[in-house]
């Protein structure tokens, strides 16, 4: 039997590295697109990308510059281009394929929804927000929708904060280790998240469920607020206390370490309505279980 083939674009990051390993574990043939020489195709070579994508069963695009920076003009352009231009390049590649992939799953972000502390934001009833991050998410999804690839099902994944042995967990664990792992700002802001293994599993699930179309929210159904998040991070590390950080101090500190307070102060309450309706079961549904697994270094 012909092995299943997946193309992972943006394979060198935290999520891409994990996905590549897991696809190989599951017996898939993996091809990659990225900036670096080890990739099977680089972003500046349309012909190579088309060759890599042709004949694949599944295309997963995870490309995008980190948003953990100050949003000055240069960084804004890099953040936008790293999402929109890579998606555009993949659209050209898929359009040029003799055997295009049946499914194209493209990263988007749960940040597309407004700051929400009143009720969750599902695909059906969620309200889009405003500001730079939302503008990027809209442009990202618009680029995917604009691709002229009628034979390929396209699904933007509105991904919440991804937890695993890397990514956002590193700075949170470092803060807790230093005794600074108290709540941030008011502590009431919602923290929607997903374990990296469940993100991988739901990509396979979406690929196997052709009825899933349009945006799909990728988040556990059990978000927490920031106060509970930091408490659980401390517990998973055996740290008994953490000093809270008021919003004004976060603003000052964000300038010093060149990041944005939006990353911790925006209330993201993302509800995975489509996944739950389709019967997807989360392996790491609660934050306690996810953090304990990460602390033990199993994944």
CATH of domain 5-296: 3.40.50.720
Q: Quick one: pLDDT at residue 105?
A: 98
Q: What percent of the chain has pLDDT over 90?
A: 71
Q: Quick one: pLDDT at residue 180?
A: 78
Q: Quick one: pLDDT at residue 295?
A: 80
pTM of the entire predicted model: 0.92
A 10 A CB-CB count for 200 gives 22
* Burial group, residue 6, by CB count within 10 angstroms (0-12, 13-18, 19+): buried
Q: Is the pLDDT of residue 253 over 90?
A: no
Q: What is the DSSP letter of 164?
A: E
Q: Quick one: pLDDT at residue 179?
A: 85
Cβ pair 115, 207 in contact under 8 A: no
Task: Write b or e for each residue in 59-95: b if 16 or more Cβ atoms lie within 10 A of its Cβ, otherwise e.
Answer: bbbbbbbebebeeeeebeeebbebbbebbebbbebbb
Q: Looking at 101-105, 133-137, 246-250, which range is the least confident one?
A: 246-250
Q: Is the pLDDT of residue 129 over 60?
A: yes
What does the pLDDT average to over 62-79? 87
Domain spans of the chain, in order of start: 5-296
Q: What percent of the chain has pLDDT over 70?
A: 95
Q: Looking at 19-23, 169-173, 199-203, 256-260, which range is the least confident one?
A: 256-260
For residue 119, what are the CA distances in angstroms to 131, 180, 181, 225?
A: 20, 29, 26, 13
DSSP 133-144: HHHHHHHHHHHH
Q: Quick one: pLDDT at residue 254?
A: 56
Task: Report residue 283's pLDDT band, with 50, 70 and 90 as the boundaries.
Answer: very high
In the three-class reduction of DSSP (H, G, I as helix; E, B as strand; rest coil), residue 15 is classed as: helix
Type and span of the H or E element at 51: helix 46-53
Model pLDDT for residues 25-62, shown as the tens digit of each residue: 999 999 999 988 789 999 999 999 999 999 999 999 99
Task: Report residue 175's pLDDT band, with 50, 70 and 90 as the boundaries.
Answer: confident
Q: Quick one: pLDDT at residue 246?
A: 84
What does the pLDDT average to over 148-171? 89
Round to whole Å and give the CA distance between 115 and 3.
43
Task: Write b or e for each residue in 119-145: b if 16 or more Cβ atoms lie within 10 A of its Cβ, otherwise e.
Answer: ebbbbeebeebeeebbebbeebbebbe
Q: Quick one: pLDDT at residue 194?
A: 97
Task: Report residue 241's pLDDT band, with 50, 70 and 90 as the boundaries.
Answer: confident
Model pLDDT for residues 255-270, shown as the tens digit of each residue: 554 556 677 789 999 9
Cβ pair 219, 271 in contact under 8 A: yes
Beta bridge partners of 41: 33
Q: Quick one: pLDDT at residue 176?
A: 83
Q: Which two tokens stand for residue 137?
A: 């998410």
């Amino acid at each position: 039997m012909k092995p299943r083939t997946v193309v992972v674009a943006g394979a060198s990051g935290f999520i891409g590295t994990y996905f590549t390993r897991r696809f190989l574990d599951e017996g898939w043939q993996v091809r990659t697109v990225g900036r670096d020489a080890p990739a099977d195709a680089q972003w500046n070579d349309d012909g190579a990308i088309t060759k890599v994508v042709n004949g694949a069963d599944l295309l997963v695009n995870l490309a995008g510059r980190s948003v953990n920076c100050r949003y000055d003009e240069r960084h804004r352009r890099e953040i936008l281009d790293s999402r929109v231009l890579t998606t555009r390049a993949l659209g050209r590649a898929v359009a040029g394929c003799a055997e295009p992939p049946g499914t194209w799953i493209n990263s988007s972000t749960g940040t597309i929804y407004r700051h929400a502390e009143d009720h969750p934001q599902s695909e059906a009833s969620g309200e889009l927000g405003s500001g730079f991050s939302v503008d990027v998410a809209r442009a990202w999804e618009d680029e995917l929708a604009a691709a002229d690839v009628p034979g390929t099902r396209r699904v933007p994944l509105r991904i919440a904060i991804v937890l695993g042995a890397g990514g956002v967990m590193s700075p949170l664990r470092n803060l807790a280790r230093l005794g600074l792992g108290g709540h941030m700002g008011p502590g009431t802001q919602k923290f929607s998240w997903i374990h990296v293994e469940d993100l991988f599993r739901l990509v396979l699930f979406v690929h196997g469920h052709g009825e899933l179309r349009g945006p799909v929210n990728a988040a556990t159904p059990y978000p927490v607020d920031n106060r509970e998040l930091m408490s659980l991070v401390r517990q998973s590390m055996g740290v008994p206390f953490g000093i809270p950080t008021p919003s004004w101090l976060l603003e000052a500190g964000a300038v010093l370490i060149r990041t944005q307070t939006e990353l911790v102060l925006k209330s993201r309450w993302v509800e995975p309505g489509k996944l739950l309706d389709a019967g997807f079961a989360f392996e790491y549904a609660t934050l306690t279980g996810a953090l304990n697994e990460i602390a033990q270094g199993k994944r």
